Structure 1
């Protein structure tokens, strides 16, 4: 697993928490999913930590930890490769016991690594996405692009703190506005909830 410079422990910063919650809320909305989660890698303990949850489990999963080599999230974190599974019951990497302990057992999921400079920061998962959003690999590519943007922003927040946020240039603000516009257009696409 790549070094991640402790993003899980640094994510307690309010801007990072707000950013991560926004990521899971938007991912859940884009894919019409039952839930979406961000797990960050805590290298000190070799665990993945629920840092933000939208939908099923959002009331109690934040802060929960599990071994970084466990389940599909662990495989994605270790390999650095995205994964889509439509029939989780038939997938040997799926840790059904752990899923039951979260009080929600999905039938399908999409998971992508949060990577920055070849470092695994964590995993973004979307649970039980709407079938029409999983019709092609374009959706996985979209989720991967979104995860890259989230990882870059997370890295900025966790390493440079508020000074970096205040130092954003006018171009950065224009780029952020474009991203928000594109996300809104995605949410308004016919056939998505």
Structure 2
């Protein structure tokens, strides 16, 4: 970003990347001298010049820019932008460059911006390939660890510890919970826990109408949250009086054995961790193995 800014005498250079399957773009890298640059705010598809480039996958080249800088989608306030170029980065995002020093970008600068957009598209694609390969490795590790725990445990506490530890390593979250349904299916109890500040929850029962874990049990489908704010509304995991503070991320997955709901395994932590769909499916698949083990050894109510 700094190199491109120096070569083009830019006021702001920013690379926006699309959410996988989503309609928002987030600033992944930038160099800006603007005080009102929207580094933390997503840009919607079609919003401003940045969103237009992403939506139509076509470049935008605006000389003698007369509108407020806010219309670009880059700023919260007018910064006095004079010229603007937006280049699609394949179908992955948008590279934007603007300036206050002159009213036009020359052909040399525009070629540099186009070349950088191509290079960044290749770099992002390569990074995504590497990240996907790393994810598949983590998924295999999770499934192996859960399978190994199911085949070799000598006691239920050992089983619970090993499967929760495997889930925590996979999710990158510090707290793990194994919650099982009572026979009446209106309450659940916390069978096993791992992590800070959660030991007092073990063995306690709660109604399925409470918390995020209760939601997973009622709906029998996964739930993920990131950037949570505990203590506001219903943003609690299990109970309003739980002794947990400071968590930002949550993922909970139903434990289904032959379509029979047995409970939930869930993870939470302080990291603003976004769990993607493939990670969620991996936790579901591993959860099926956990549920089958619980059913086979009659470790849960039916």
Q: Flag whether TM exceeds 0.5 (same fold).
A: yes
In structure 2, the residue matched to 1:47 is 187
- Structure 1 window deviating more from structure 2 (33-42 vs 45-54): it is 45-54
Kindly indicate whether residue 261 of structure 2 is the aligned counterpart of residue 89 of structure 1: no
Provide closer, same or farther for how the CA distance between residues 44 and 18 of structure 1 changes in structure 2, counting only shifts above 3 A: farther
In structure 2, the residue matched to 1:117 is 258
Provide closer, same or farther for how the CA distance between residues 127 and 97 of structure 1 changes in structure 2, counting only shifts above 3 A: closer
Decide whether the 8 Å contact of 2:227 with 2:272 is kept in 1: no
Choose which of 277, 283, 291 in structure 2 pairs with 1:137: 277
Q: Secondary structure at the match of 2:221?
A: coil
Q: Secondary structure at the match of 1:73?
A: helix
Moved runs in structure 1, 4+ residues, more than 4 A?
90-93, 129-132
Equivalents in 2 of 1:66, 1:104: separation in Å?
A: 19
Equivalents in 2 of 1:28, 1:70: separation in Å?
A: 23
Q: Where is the strand percentage greater, Structure 1 or Structure 2?
A: 2
Shift of 1:70: 1.1
In structure 2, the residue matched to 1:9 is none
Q: Which has the higher contact order (CA 8 A, sep 6+)?
A: 1
Decide whether the 8 Å contact of 2:248 with 2:270 is kept in 1: no
Decide whether the 8 Å contact of 1:53 with 1:62 is kept in 2: yes
Structure 1: runs of 5+ lacking an equivalent: 1-13, 160-193
Shift of 1:45: 7.1
Choose which of 107, 113, 124 in structure 1 pairs with 2:248: 107
Q: Secondary structure at the match of 2:267?
A: strand
TM-score by length of 2: 0.43
Shift of 1:21: 2.2
- Structure 1 window deviating more from structure 2 (112-121 vs 54-63): it is 54-63
> CA offsets per residue over residues 38-95 of structure 1, 9 Å max, x none?
1111134721211111112353321022111211111111111001111333885533
Provide closer, same or farther for how the CA distance between residues 21 and 97 of structure 1 changes in structure 2, counting only shifts above 3 A: closer
Choose which of 57, 61, 74 in structure 1 pairs with 2:197: 57
Provide closer, same or farther for how the CA distance between residues 97 and 43 of structure 1 changes in structure 2, counting only shifts above 3 A: closer
C-alpha RMSD of the superposition: 2.6
Provide closer, same or farther for how the CA distance between residues 130 and 94 of structure 1 changes in structure 2, counting only shifts above 3 A: closer
Structure 2: runs of 5+ lacking an equivalent: 1-153
Equivalents in 1 of 2:285, 2:176: separation in Å?
A: 16
Q: How does 1:146-165 map to 2 (within 5 A)?
A: 146-158=286-298
Structure 1 or 2, whichever has the larger Rg, is 2
Equivalents in 1 of 2:156, 2:215: separation in Å?
A: 24
Q: Secondary structure at the match of 2:213?
A: helix
Q: Secondary structure at the match of 1:111?
A: strand
Decide whether the 8 Å contact of 1:109 with 1:126 is kept in 2: yes
In structure 1, the residue matched to 2:212 is 72
